Amino acid sequence: MDPYLGHSQTVKREVSEHADLLARIRGTSLAPDPAAHLNTGTQNSIYAVGRTPSGLYLALRSPIIGMGGRDEALYRGETYCAVASGLAEAYARDPSIPRPPRFCIGVLADGIPSILTEDVSEGRAYHVREVEGHCERSRGSERERLFLDLDGSDMEMFVFTKLGRPIDVGNPSYFSAEHVLLP
């Protein structure tokens, strides 16, 4: 199994064991709480959904309604996760590049596809801002460069140049029956 997918599935199992987290993920997918809103991009809105008992902060990337429908949202979700996996492999080889999210889990709540991923703000403890070609999170003098907006073809090209091969969207499938989280 792809190491990134394997780690993501470990996180999925931990989340699946906690009804309160599943309820928050489901509730955020269907009717987001404005107080949990972290950011909005051109294709997704991002919401904080809590913290696992092991200390991982969770964020839900929900597609903006009307952006191509369910099939388009599934494809964008698969692409995001495939790019994150490729970036994780590239980052393991070259830690000077910005770090990708630590995990990516496909979520289907009432058929609505979303992505459960790392809340890099850690419950707003870090300030996250966009800089040239990536993001930066900071708290005091602490700084970390991150790749967060992974939807674009420019990220697919970056992974290609780092790994010497294209990403394989949908293989493995983060939204397959075996891998998806159904809150």
Task: Return the domain boundaries, the chain.
Answer: 3-163
Lowest mean per-residue pLDDT among 65-69, 120-124, 162-166, 178-182: 65-69
Whether residue 115 contacts residue 92, with contact meaning beta carbons closer than 8 Å, is answered with: no
**E strands, 36-170, in order:** 37-40, 44-51, 57-63, 104-109, 112-118, 127-131, 134-139, 142-146
pLDDT digits (tens, 9 = 90+) for 127-176: 999 887 789 999 999 999 999 888 766 788 888 888 888 888 878 799 99
Q: Tell me, what amino acid is at 166? A: P
pTM: 0.92
pLDDT digits (tens, 9 = 90+) for 49-89: 999 999 999 999 998 866 678 888 898 899 999 999 999 99
Give the span between the Cα atoms of 99 and 48, in whole angstroms: 20
Give the span between the Cα atoms of 70 and 100, in whole angstroms: 25
